[in-house]
Structure 1
Amino acid sequence: MLSKTIVVQNQVGLHARPATFFIQKSNEFKSSIWVEKDDRRVNAKSLLGVLSLGITKGMEITIITDGTDEKEAIEALEKLIESNFSD
């Protein structure tokens, strides 16, 4: 199991279109992936789950991966967030 804390810097946060890109990227991996904000943890492969966190610009989130490709998954999601979802 790996985890990485990242600050979301894109203008609209992890809402609507960026959330869709995030979920599509998460679904490319076999590992279980979660997003955690404050005390809430949701499945990163669930649009409603991710949107329910209400992640906006400047918020800190933690990505947690667990599985055979956990390292690749966490690196790809970190890269996607740091690129402001212009993957």
Structure 2
Amino acid sequence: MIREEITIGGPVGLHARPAAEFVKLAERFKSRVRLAKDGIWVNGKSILAILTLAAEKGSLVILEVSGEDEAEAFPVLKEKLTRNED
């Protein structure tokens, strides 16, 4: 398992389009993906769950990836959250 607290980037944080793009990216991996904000953990492969976090630009979230391809998945997903260009 790889877990790290990161800061959400991009001008609008994780609203609908960036959340959908993150989920699409996460679904390419076999590993379990979870996000947490303010102690609330959600499935990182569910757009509705991610939207409930209301993670705006600058929000601190925990990204957790666990599974057989976690070493490959984690840096890709972290990059998407920190450099969101939407």
**Normalising to structure 1: TM-score of the pair?**
0.92
Could you tell me how far 1:38 is from its partner in structure 2? 1.1
Gaps of at least 5 residues in structure 1 are none
- The CA deviation at 1:78 is 1.1
Shift of 1:80: 1.5
Q: Counterpart in 2 of 1:2?
A: 2
Match of 1:55 in 2: 55
Structure-2 residue corresponding to 1:74 = 74
> Is 1:15 matched with 2:5?
no
Which ranges in structure 2 are unaligned for 5 or more consecutive residues?
Answer: none
Identify the residue that residue 43 of structure 2 maps to in structure 1. Answer: 43
Q: Shift of residue 32 of structure 1?
A: 0.5
Aligned residues: 86
- Provide the rounded CA distance (Å) in 2 between the counterparts of 1:60 and 1:25: 20
2: CA distance between counterparts of 1:49 and 1:68? 23
Moved over 6 A (4+): none
2-structure distance, mates of 1:73, 1:85: 19
Where 1:41 maps in the other structure, the secondary structure is: strand
Encode CA deviations 1:48-70: one digit per residue, 9 max, x unaligned: 10001110011011110110001
Q: Which amino acid aligns with 2:24?
A: Q
Please state whether the residue corresponding to 2:29 is helix, strand or coil: coil
Percent identity, aligned pairs only, is 37
| 1:31 corresponds to | 31
Aligned-residue Cα RMSD (Å) equals 1.2
